[in-house]
Amino acid sequence: MANTGKKQPKRPKHVPLRTCIACRESKPKRELLRVVRTPDGHVVIDPTSKKPGRGAYLCARLSCWETAIKKKRLEQEFELTLSDEDRAGLDAFIATLPKETSVVK
């Protein structure tokens, strides 16, 4: 094979997609927040997306987090009941999310 000096066009980089467990929208993994059930059974937020355990993804929108808690989506996903300690940790994080402004058209 002769090298003609032409470069191959670069292939677009693969972007892993994940689905929010509340709104069911597929988005790039980096746009979503990961919640993980650790091997010892706790449910915590995983900002690095590297903690071991079963993971679930949520949008960084307050409405998605409220839906996930209200409809027990995290509990369904992880097949457990959230402990008071884990629930308090998630509630503290949810309190830091900005309130959403509804767009009226």
List, edge to edge, every strand of the sheet that includes 43-46. 43-46, 33-37, 54-58
* CA 22 remoteness from chain centre: 10
Enter the pTM of the model: 0.82
Q: Element (H or E) spanning 73, and its range?
A: helix 73-78
Per-residue pLDDT tens listing for the chain (105 residues)? 556 667 788 888 899 999 999 999 999 999 999 999 999 999 999 999 999 999 999 999 999 999 999 999 999 999 999 999 999 999 999 999 888 765 555
What pLDDT, on the 0 to 100 scale, is given for residue 102? 58
18-96 placed in CATH 3.90.1150.10:
no
Return d(Cα 40, Cα 43) in angstroms, integer. 9
